[in-house]
Chains A and B, each alone.
Chain A
Amino acid sequence: MALSRRLLPLLRRGGCLSASASPARALSMAAVPADADQEEAVTVKGVRISGRPLYMDMQATTPVDPRVLDAMLPFYLSRYGNPHSRTHLYGWESDAAVEEARARVASLVGADPREIFFTSGATECNNIAVKGVMRFYRDRRRHVITTQTEHKCVLDSCRYLQQEGFEVTYLPVRPDGLVDVAQLADAIRPDTGLVSVMAVNNEIGVVQPLEEIGRICREKGVPFHTDAAQALGKIPIDVNQMGIGLMSLSAHKIYGPKGVGALYLRRRPRIRVEPQMSGGGQERGIRSGTVPTPLVVGFGAACEIAAKEMDYDHRRATTLQKRLLDGIRGQVDDVVINGSMEHRYPGNLNLSFAYVEGESLLMGLKEVAVSSGSACTSASLEPSYVLRALGVEEDMAHTSIRFGIGRFTTEEEVDRATELTVHQVKKLRDMSPLYEMAKAGIDIKSIQWAQH
């Protein structure tokens, strides 16, 4: 069906028309001039920036999609019933909405709706999965296998189990971030109760070989848990194809609301967990507590949108990541990508800039909202344990920056982020005596620093 000639140039350009200013400016591509500059400047923590920074921290959280918000609002306004109220319309309609959302979440991962249990987020899911499974089978299963690059909540739960007397194997990863599947198979013992490997790493974006791991776990009869918070809606997940027994899902990483997640728990063969929340037995006794209808509806809507948009978003993220990487590498050298490039979710790019100090790089990038390799995990300046597990040197781990590209990221934002990063890196390298020495051919590692 052909479209009007007037609109074709717009289609070809693929760009958008400018802001909500006067109609006369309708077809202009230039940004709206900020005449009230001074009033609109934002001053936070002593730093003054002219506007809200461009957001490139999608792994930390994502903006709520307007379609998700649209689905949620009626449940804050008129349909505010408790889904567990059985005696009136408010409860019935709320319950119907929750069940519809459950079906949507289930369909995105190839599961049955009865296998989905809503929780407060992926952290709670990880707690239920790790602690709940091991405690349920505590008589026969005493061993857990996980990796060194797991999210803090999994590692912390494992440490908690160790205090209770269980044994935990923390598998190392290769320098590209992938776990060695043969090593994992060797580590499985007769009393192994759980293997937990995250699907997509939040810091480096590496995608683990889920099918292989699932196959091995199925052969050996060990439940396979994966933290799929960063993977949901971004890479195709099929719990049956991948042999997944338990899975943690989070809403706020796929343009849904914060405060809700879901645990996938396999029914055939049935995997049992000991509930971590005692109460009225909601969610089939797995997780007591009123199910938050608006949040759950938002999660369902986000999953439905993700199912439709996965291919489009993935293609776009790949294009934008290439644009960002080529843009930065074309202008500065000694840039290292942390983690495998082949097995990667394109929306996550973790770069280390040699001879640049990380904190000062971040201070200079105040107009771009990005995260560094160390900030994620602790308030201290300790370098990220994920990068350390990759074998990244401490100085390189300190200078790592994680760029997150998402559904709403534009080409202009990527270009601006490139420009700002390159500018800051060059500025810092100009000031850096280490860089001068490296350029002169001196091997930094061979220097004997004098002690005063």
Chain B
Amino acid sequence: MAAAAPTRAEVMSLFRSLLRTARQFSDYNIREYTCRRAADAFRENRALGDVPAAAAAFAYGKKQLEVAKRQAVVYSLYAPKAKSIMEMKMQ
């Protein structure tokens, strides 16, 4: 049985979760990338009218959220003491 298309509420909830998880990464580059990639992917898939494609994209997004949650924890366990220069005040 084919998966149903996700509702608008589900999509928004997934997007918010991805952004929230992105914020938890201790690494500057990964954090920025996760945010940006999620935003770009959601924007690109916004116009997906095809139900199986939308369902597949949603399922993919959910899987990526699981990966991001796990990795946010792993990265924070091994975060270096010195932060990236990009996160410091402008000299």
A-side residues, CB < 8 A to B, are 1-4, 7, 10-11, 14-20, 26, 31-34, 37, 39-42, 49-55, 63, 66-67, 69-70, 73, 312, 367, 407-410, 412-413, 416
Q: For A19, what are the chain B residues with a Cβ–Cβ distance below 8 Å?
A: 23, 26, 28, 31, 87
| Contact present for A31 and B70 (CB under 8 Å) | no
Contact of A63 with B87 at beta-carbon distance under 8 Å, contacts A7-B15, A16-B22, A39-B81 already known? no
**Chain B residue, CB-CB nearest to A369:** B85
B59 beta carbon closer than 8 Å to chain A: no
B86 beta carbon closer than 8 Å to chain A: yes
Can you pick out 27 interface pairs between chain A and chain B where the beta carbons lie within 8 Å of each other?
A: A2-B46, A3-B8, A3-B11, A3-B42, A7-B15, A7-B16, A17-B23, A19-B23, A19-B26, A19-B87, A20-B23, A33-B89, A39-B81, A40-B83, A50-B88, A51-B82, A51-B86, A52-B80, A52-B82, A52-B84, A52-B85, A66-B25, A66-B30, A67-B64, A69-B71, A407-B33, A413-B29
| Contact present for A1 and B48 (CB under 8 Å) | yes
Chain B interface, DSSP helix/strand/loop, else mixed: helix
Q: For B3, what are the chain A residues with a Cβ–Cβ distance below 8 Å?
A: none
| Contact present for B67 and A70 (CB under 8 Å) | yes
B-side residues, CB < 8 A to A, are 8, 11-12, 15-16, 19, 22-26, 28-37, 39-40, 42-43, 46-48, 54, 64, 67-68, 70-71, 74-76, 80-91
Report Cα–Cα, A290/B34, bound state, in Å.
35
Instruction: Write the nearest CB–CB distance from A55 to chain B, whole angstroms.
Output: 7
Q: Apart from A66-B67, A408-B32, what 15 extra A-B contacts exist at CB < 8 Å? A: A3-B42, A7-B16, A10-B19, A14-B36, A16-B31, A16-B34, A20-B25, A41-B82, A52-B84, A67-B71, A70-B70, A408-B30, A408-B33, A410-B29, A410-B36
| Contact present for A3 and B15 (CB under 8 Å) | yes
Report Cα–Cα, A413/B85, bound state, in Å.
9
| Contact present for A11 and B42 (CB under 8 Å) | yes
Q: For A66, what are the chain B residues with a Cβ–Cβ distance below 8 Å?
A: 25, 30, 67-68, 71, 74-75
Report Cα–Cα, A53/B88, bound state, in Å.
11
| Contact present for A14 and B39 (CB under 8 Å) | yes
Instruction: Write the nearest CB–CB distance from B45 to chain A, whole angstroms.
Output: 8
Report Cα–Cα, A135/B75, bound state, in Å.
46
Report Cα–Cα, A37/B83, bound state, in Å.
10
Report Cα–Cα, A31/B31, bound state, in Å.
13
